Amino acid sequence: MSNMPPEWAPHSATWMGYPSAAYDGCGVSTEEAQQAWANVANAISDHERLFMLCHPTQKTSAKKRLSSAIELVDYSLNDAWLRDTGPTFIIESNRLVGIDWRFNGWGNNTQLEWQQDAGIARFICEYLDCEARSSTLTNEGGGLHVSGQDQVLLTKTVQLDPGRNPDWSQSDVESEIHALLGTERAIWLERGLYRDYEENGTRGHVDIVACFTPNDDVLFHEQTQEQHPDHINCRELRAQLADAGLNVVPIAAPKVLRDNYNWVDYSYLNHYVCNGAVIVPTFADPNDGPALERLAEVYPDRAIRGIDARVIFAMGGGVHCITQQQPLA
């Protein structure tokens, strides 16, 4: 029987990708983006093994910024969102298997190149000499969260996106997800956060909105400020989770509302749980402290490490978006 372990289960490693360039118009430089990714990688490498996919042209930069403990793996990647392009790992009969979802640039919602990234999941599985199990579902790792028991969080504007899976019904998606991940109950959100529907957005990834915890609660991104477009949206999403019978534990969004571009989607929910630590995005914001305290309550046996993630969010994602766990088989 297959099972996707929850993120807080023991890892054998983490996978990341080293960015080759910042996006035009995002307001950050390539050097800033590379250092932001490196800060996350270096923190994780204090706690577990870390593999970093790196374009051959960027190895000098990577070696300068990354801890010597990090293992560089050559790959001509287009982009660096390994949560979405890397394999979703499961355990089956005590062996590691990587799910290779179809990837098409978040429903063709980008003008950026992504064709090389569509091969990352299979490449990693070949590197690890583990089975790559192909799915015909277009999906990304940031579009789901599992409880470790039988539940999975999904979003209708992701898995049922006409740009991803035009011929799939909700029942079809659930059957595929359950068969591959070992889950039994899908909990669907209607949509994601406001900014995620712009060009280069994911159209609603759940990993910036909500996630399960070891005690079966669901942590939830709560936008408390009425002027933000996500204020009403989050109220509706929280009600959907509660109606599903889940115990919702809110974490207030940062107080900052806008960056130089638009309404922000800064979220503490886009954290990463590794062996012995939780790597949490922070924003030089008054709500950083309360968010870190709440996560310390959820994970009392782990170090809670805040990493300034404003550069990563300017690029379109967060800490969880750039990491992919390899569970211990």
Helices (H), 222-266: 230-243
Q: Assign residue 148 a region (left: φ > 0; alpha: ψ between -120 and 50; beta: otherwise).
A: left
Strands (E), the chain: 2-3, 11-17, 50-54, 71-74, 88-92, 95-102, 131-138, 145-146, 151-155, 185-189, 210-212, 218-222, 248-252, 272-274, 277-282, 303-308, 324-327
Dihedral (CA of 21, 23, 25, 29) sign: negative
Closest CA to 312 of 7, 108, 22, 103: 22
Return d(Cα 37, Cα 34) in angstroms, integer: 5
Question: Phi-psi category of 249—alpha, beta or left, where left has phi over 0 and alpha has psi -120 to 50?
Answer: beta
Give catalytic residues, as residue numbers: 321
Angstrom distance (rounded) from CA 65 to CA 117: 23
Strands 145-146 and 151-155: antiparallel
Place of tokens 């990587």: 98
Write down the residue that tokens 């571009």 correspond to: 261
- Bin 266: left if φ > 0, else alpha if -120 < ψ < 50, else beta: beta
What are the structure tokens assigned to 259, written together?
Answer: 């960056």
For residues 116 and 119, what is the distance between their CA atoms, to the nearest angstrom?
6
